[in-house]
Amino acid sequence: MNAPNEVATGSLIGAAVRRKEDARFLTGSGRYTDDISLPGQTYACFVRSPHAHARIVKIDKSAALKAPGVLGVFTGDDLAADKVGSLPCGWLITDVNGQPMKEPPHPPLAQDKVRYVGDHVAVVIAETYWQAKDAAERLDIEYEPLPAVVDAVEALRPGAPVVHEQAPDNLCFRWSLGDKAATDAAFAKAHHVTKLDIVNNRLIPNAIEPRAALAHYSRAEDAYTLYVANQNPHVERLLMTAFVLGVPEHKMRVIAPDVGGGFGSKIFLYPEETVITWASKKINRPIKWTAERAEAFLSDAHGRDHHTHAELALDKDGKFLGLRVKTIANLGAYLSTFGSSVPTYLYGTLLAGQYTTPAIYVEVDAVFTNTAPVDAYRGAGRPEATYVVERLVSTAAREMGIDQAEIRRRNFITKFPYQTPVALTYDTGDYNACLEGAMKLADVAGFPKRRAEAEKRGKLRGLGYSTYIEACGLAPSNIAGALGARAGLFEVGEIRVNPTGTVTVFTGSHSHGQGHETTFAQVVASRLGIPIENVDVVHGDTGRIPFGMGTYGSRSIAVGGAAIMKALDKIEAKGKKIAAHLLEAAESDIEFKDGVFRVAGTDKSIPFAQIALAAYVPHNYPLDKLEPGLNETAFYDPTNFTFPAGAHICEVEVDPETGEVDIVNFTAVDDFGNVINPMIVEGQVHGGIAQGIGQALLEHAIYDKESGQLVTGSYMDYALPRADDLPTFKVDTRATPCTHNPLGVKGCGEAGAIGAPPAVIEAIIDALAPLGVKDIPMPATPQAVWRAIQEAKGRAAA
Amino acid sequence: MYAFEFHRATSVEEAAALLAKTQGKLLAGGQSLVGAMKLRLSSPSSVIDLGGIAELRGIRKEKNAIVIGATTRHAEVAASPEVRKAIPALATLAEGIGDRQVRNMGTLGGSLANNDPAADYPAGVLGLGATVRTNKRAIAADDFFRGMYETALGDDEIITAVSFPIPRRAAYLKFRNPASRFALVGVFVADTGTGVRVAVTGAAPCVFRVTDMEAAFTKSFTPDAIKSVRVDPGKLNSDIHASAEYRAHLIGVLAARAVAQAAK
């Protein structure tokens, strides 16, 4: 047997290695859920509520059942008869009075009532999708429409329509964090108080691949296989089997194959895949469902949707004394899988930002409305927190006449570890380094000249700053558990060294655009000193991977990568034992470097591949002391969150006649700790900023207040950023390595979406400040900007 | 999409006969019809494809006019040397319709017959005072556009070509809807030699002319000429992207800028 060539690769950490997965993606060889077909496959079409709120009086299936090709028509009653449970919420929030949040049932198909436009009423299964769709139109459903409420602020008003009887005031919970008395005291001694009312606009995730699932029940094995576009297949399986279907967990395999983007929206357990999994046994045929784009708009979990009043207390020098925040968060019609954690522990805990604000108090009312469920969307709570903090800081600087960079410098945390007043302990950071770097890269010094030049052309230029922080690398399980998480938040890595020395890595993280197949391979190849071509990464399959918590919250490299490193520790330790035996040396004398085990201080050595071969062909092997094989698994539970941070500077040019905003420069200098692959990191930052700019300028999910219909239900009305909406980004990094994980990494997936929105909005306000504009809502569409200008002119004239 | 019967006509006469017989829908470039059918918003029992009728396609100069066949693609108009030379504003308009895919399929006649309130071509046709030729007659632009998705076309009437008189100078400016990129407001200004025409699309249920601006520009073809002209927002569209007031304001801004551009 020939071992593969042992090439000293040097360290691949920090190298812009081209993505291994791109060969298949760029040649159309990716394999997404909808690309997979099984013999005897059927198709599902979901019948959705046309009403925002209605009682289901009667469903007559007879005509639909008689339609050509139809194999089954199922409603909420059929699921209830089979004791199919409610879709669970993964995070229990305890309210200000120590009471658990209200958890009204979330049946996969509606029972008695529908609660939002797009809510799931029935499923029709037929031989072809078009037959299912035709039959769905023949389903006779009688509704009794009820008054609906789509706005969270309205939903709290007395007399508002009640979404769930279990929450008669529509309040799921009122939650708080921080020291109220200390915060009030800080405001009492304030020299200046800045106040803002902020709406964080509701967004629709819009992954390029719509949600899809293919469920198969095998009578022979009495077991299910579910292919699903999902970010965390083990969690999907656990929730669906244990909490909803009552199927034994080992009787279901969940495979999340290539997934075309998630942004959070594919974390959750949704009704569709649950229903078709259940129904696949009913009709004893595989069932496929792929969302149409219109269904994605209606039924993917939406993001953000906060109404906030926030106040910042400052002393005469612009030092922050206290921060007081009251937020009303829209949860939608049902508690989605992590819907309760987003406006609480992923939001309130980030309100310290990068600053030494000594007293912070936040109160959140989480509210049911007749809208699609709201859950994590790229950033999940942290963009909302950053928007509150950074808008307050920039507004305070303007009000007090302090330079935007200077007010930040005066308040930056500089000593680490730093315990914030909102539960987190920042391990490390250098906020000034990012700010200085960004100011240089953005050529802030040359801005006055550019502004003057623009003015000559009738355009107004402005600069906006955002120095954000996020908590990533979710999460220490014990801390999360104490705060209400109903799951562990560790990650799993398995290193399978094959007899020839090639390596297959099994990770519980899931890649749906992030490039794990490359980044994780770089980590493994570097550590073992083998060529990256000899390492393949497998993810997204409960049948192949020991366990996993999946990908969200920029956790993959920080938690999944750390699990891989822990497994590599075990590989190295066992390799040393084998090497000691083969080299007839003491184990403590063996060192491992550049893919070679060596007796320290000698030229006696043995390459990694030969150790692998010895482990699988154990002829000369310490079998009395050591098992054959070289295959190690590790579970890694982080000891703290990671805290990526950075400085974003946006430069805009506004056309004051039309209100059009042109982003002429966007600069981001981020601290993600150590960077494994700078090219992939840059791509992640670009994508994040694009979504952040999308939120700031373009995207807005709007429900009609009267009818509860989704007005922005297609790309005709929902504005996604296009390439020509964006400038060429200037990005760079600074590194303060994370102190508590083996790679010193922090995560980079959400940073752009978190940092960008306040920088964009502040740049517009800066541009329009000479006209008297003090605030601008998101998204800052041309109309919104034009209106703000008109209002400012009106005020000036009055 | 629902099932339908597909007919491919080889002459205008055959298409008209099929139209009369089937009460179907004419298919030109399909950029509106096919999308609507896929969404099940439109469900014709028959579709009559005009794509095989050679006489409907092409661009030629006739005296002081550019005549464009009904099934000529937007991309062909945009790239046409005759159009670019004679009426560059019309080439620019065609170049700005939809995206590359739409321009490679969409047609002049299809756009006019559909008369989408935010389509670009109606502004060009009305702004230039063009004549719409059909299998039955010639219709002046001022008589052609009747309302939202409504035209003067009869049930079995088919657009064959449009004759655009060559103006002295003209310009088309569009302010795009940030989501759909259709015209939130589009303004076509043409100095015809005998007066100025100003046509607006996107702002109201149907393309329309702004006669106060026309009078002002006819007196003085300068941006400032319309400084005191106010567009009444009363009849304009209001939606999540733009209020009637904002649209009225944009008409003024775009008209002035279009004149500045045309006067260059």
pLDDT tens column, A53-110: 999 999 999 999 999 999 999 999 999 999 999 999 999 999 999 999 999 999 999 9
Contact between residue A667 and residue A451 where contact means Cβ atoms under 8 Å apart: no
Q: Are A353 and A393 in contact (CB under 8 A)?
A: yes
Q: Does B243 touch chain A (CB under 8 A)?
A: yes
Short-list A631, A629, A627, CA closest to A615: A629
Contacts of residue A313, Cβ cutoff 8 Å, sequence gap at least 6: A186, A187, A189, A190, A192, A193, A320, A321, A322, A323, A324
- Nearest CA to A471 out of A383, A391, A533 is that of A383
For residue A11, name the pLDDT band (cuts at 50, 70, 90).
confident
Secondary structure letter of residue B177 according to DSSP: P
Chain A closest-CA separation from residue B131 CA (Å): 31
Cis peptide before A257 (omega within 30 of 0): no
| Residue found under tokens 């974390």 | A267
Q: Does B250 contact chain A (CB < 8 Å)?
A: yes
Q: Is the pLDDT of residue A718 over 90?
A: yes
In angstroms, rounded to a whole number, what is the distance separating the alpha carbons of residues B24 and B21?
Answer: 8
Cβ of B253 under 8 Å from any chain A Cβ? Answer: yes
Rounded to the nearest 5°, which phi and psi values hold at B98?
Answer: 50, -140
Q: How far apart are CA A341 and CA A436, in angstroms?
A: 34
Give me the phi and psi of B59, to 5 degrees please.
Answer: -130, 130
Give dist(CA A308, CA A314) in Å, integer.
Answer: 19
Provide the 10 A C-beta neighbour count for residue A1: 7
Partners of A591 in beta bridges: A598
8 A C-beta contact, residue A157 and residue A97? no
Mean pLDDT across A460-473:
97
Give me the helix-helix angle, A608-616 and A561-583, nearest 10°.
Answer: 80
From the list B179, B246, B250, the residue facing A718 with the nearest CB is B179
Q: Does B246 touch chain A (CB under 8 A)?
A: yes
Instruction: Please tell me the distance in Å from B218's CA to the nearest CA on chain A.
Output: 24
CB contact at 8 A, A652 and A664: yes
Write out the two tokens for B192: 């015809």
Residue A73 CA to residue A77 CA, distance in Å, equals: 11
pLDDT over 90 at A21, yes or no = yes
Measure Cα distances from B6 to A319, A341, A490, B22, B25 in Å: 73, 54, 58, 11, 10
pLDDT digits (tens, 9 = 90+) for B66-107: 999 999 999 999 999 999 999 999 999 999 999 999 999 999
From B241's Cα to the closest Cα of chain A, the distance in A is 7
CATH T-level assignment (fold) for domain B169-262: Enolase-like; domain 1 (3.30.390)
Tell me, yes or no, if the pTM score tops 0.90. yes
Q: Looking at the predicted structure, is the pLDDT value of residue A7 above 80?
A: no
Give B180→chain A minimum CA distance, Å. 4
Q: Report the Cα–Cα distance between both ends of chain B, in Å, rounded.
A: 48
Identify the CATH assignment for B5-165 out of 3.10.129.10, 1.10.3720.10, 3.30.465.10, 3.40.50.2300.
Answer: 3.30.465.10
ipTM of the complex: 0.96
For residue range A206-260, list pLDDT tens digits in order.
999 999 999 999 999 999 999 999 999 999 999 999 999 999 999 999 999 999 9
CB atoms under 10 Å from CB of A212, counted, come to 24
Contact A658 B242 (CB under 8 A): no
A498–chain B Cβ distance below 8 A for any pair: no
Choose the closest CB to A658 out of B179, B243, B253: B253
Q: Which among B180, B241, B249 has the least Cβ separation from residue A715?
A: B180
Distance CA A143, CA A58 (A): 7
What separation in angstroms does the CA of A655 have from each of A261, A618, A652, A727?
34, 75, 10, 17
A125, A194 contact by CB (below 8 A): no
Q: Report yes or no: A297 and A372 within 8 Å, Cβ to Cβ.
A: no
Amino acid identity for residue A623 in this structure: L
Task: Say if residue A9's pLDDT is above 90.
Answer: no
| A590-610 residue pLDDT tens | 999 999 999 999 999 999 999
As a whole number, mean pLDDT of residues A773-785 equals 97
Give the pLDDT confidence of A560-591 residue by residue, as tens digits.
Answer: 999 999 999 999 999 999 999 999 999 999 99
Interface test with A, best of B176, B250, B251, B254 (most A CBs within 10 A): B250
B242 touches chain A (CB under 8 A): yes
Contact status, residue A661 vs residue A678, Cβ threshold 8 Å: no
B35 Rama sector, left if φ>0, alpha if ψ -120 to 50, beta otherwise: alpha
Nearest partner of A534 among A495, A504, A506, A502, judged by Cα: A502
Distance of CA A429 to the CA centre of its chain: 22
- Give mean pLDDT, residues B219-240: 96
Q: How far apart are CA A793 and CA A656, in angstroms?
A: 12
pLDDT tens column, A721-746 = 999 999 999 999 999 999 999 999 99
Contact with chain A for residue B175, Cβ under 8 A: yes
Q: How far apart are CA A91 and CA A107, in angstroms?
A: 18
In a 10 Å sphere around its CB, with 0-12 CB exposed, 13-18 middle and 19+ buried, how is residue A31 labelled?
A: exposed
Q: Work out the number of other CB atoms within 10 angstroms of the CB of residue A720.
A: 15
Minimal-distance CA residue of chain B relative to A720: B179
Q: Do A717 and B180 touch (CB under 8 A)?
A: yes
3-state secondary structure of A414: coil
Q: What's the whole-number mean pLDDT along residues B26-54?
A: 96
Tell me, yes or no, if B41 comes closer than 8 A to chain A by beta carbon: no
- Asked if A787 is an interface residue toward chain B (Cβ–Cβ < 8 A), one would say yes
Provide the sign of the torsion angle of the four alpha carbons A239, A244, A246, A247, taken in this order: negative
Beta bridge pairs of residue B183? B176
User: A698 — contact with chain B (CB < 8 Å)?
Assistant: yes
Q: What is the pLDDT of residue A10?
A: 58
Minimal Cβ distance to A786: which of B39, B179, B246: B246
Does A128 touch chain B if contact means CB atoms closer than 8 Å? Answer: no
Token reading at A236: 């999907």
The reply to whether A538 touches chain B by the CB within 8 Å rule is no
Question: For A179-268, where are the E strands, in sequence order?
Answer: 192-200, 212-218, 223-228, 252-255
B5-165 and B169-262 share one fold: no
Please report the pLDDT score of residue A662 as a whole number.
98
- Please name the residues in contact with A761: beta carbons below 8 A apart, sequence gap of 6 or more: A391, A464, A696, A776, A778, A780
For residues A357-372, one letter each, b for 16 or more C-beta atoms within 10 angstroms of the residue's C-beta and e for the rest, the string is bbbbbbbbbbbbbbbb
Query: Could A715 and B179 be called an inter-chain contact, meaning their C-beta atoms sit closer than 8 Å?
Result: yes
Distance CA A456, CA A644 (A): 40
Q: At residue A2, does pLDDT exceed 60?
A: no
pLDDT at residue A5 tops 50: no
Please tell me the distance from the alpha carbon of residue A651 to that of residue A548, in angstroms, as a whole number: 41
Residue of B nearest to A294 (CA): B39
Nearest Cα residue in chain A from B243: A783
Query: What is the least distance, in Å, from the CA of B51 to any CA of chain A?
Result: 27
- Give all strands (DSSP E) within chain B, no chain letters: 5-8, 25-27, 46-49, 59-62, 65-69, 131-134, 138-140, 145-147, 150-151, 159-165, 169-176, 183-191, 196-201, 208-209
H or E segment and range at residue A328: strand A320-332
Q: What average pLDDT is seen over chain A?
A: 96
B44 pLDDT more than 60: yes
Q: Model confidence at A661, in pLDDT bands (50, 70, 90)?
A: very high
Other Cβ atoms less than 10 A from the Cβ of A146: the count is 18
Cα–Cα distance measured from residue B155 to residue A629, given in angstroms and rounded to the nearest whole number: 80
Geometric angle at alpha carbon A253, from A215 and A539, rounded to 5°? 110
Q: How confident is the model at residue A796 (pLDDT cuts 50, 70, 90)?
A: confident
Q: Name the strand (E) or helix (H) holding B250.
A: helix B244-263
- Single out the residue of A637, A670, A640 nearest to residue A739, CA to CA: A640
| Rounded Cα gap, residues A151 and A226, in angstroms | 36
A chain contacts of residue B243, beta-carbon cutoff 8 Å: 783
Q: Tell me the chain A residues in contact with residue B180 when contact means C-beta distances shorter than 8 Å.
A: 715-717
Which amino acid, A272?
A: E
CA B31 to chain centre: 14
For residues A5-13, average pLDDT: 58
| Cβ contacts of A702 on chain B, cutoff 8 Å | 240
Residue-averaged pLDDT of chain B: 97
Mean pLDDT along residues A708-712: 98
- Whether B179 sits inside 8 A of A719 (CB atoms) is yes
Sequence ranges of the domains in chain B = 5-165, 169-262
Hey, are the CB atoms on B180 and A716 less than 8 Å from each other? yes
Distance CA B131, CA B124 (A): 11
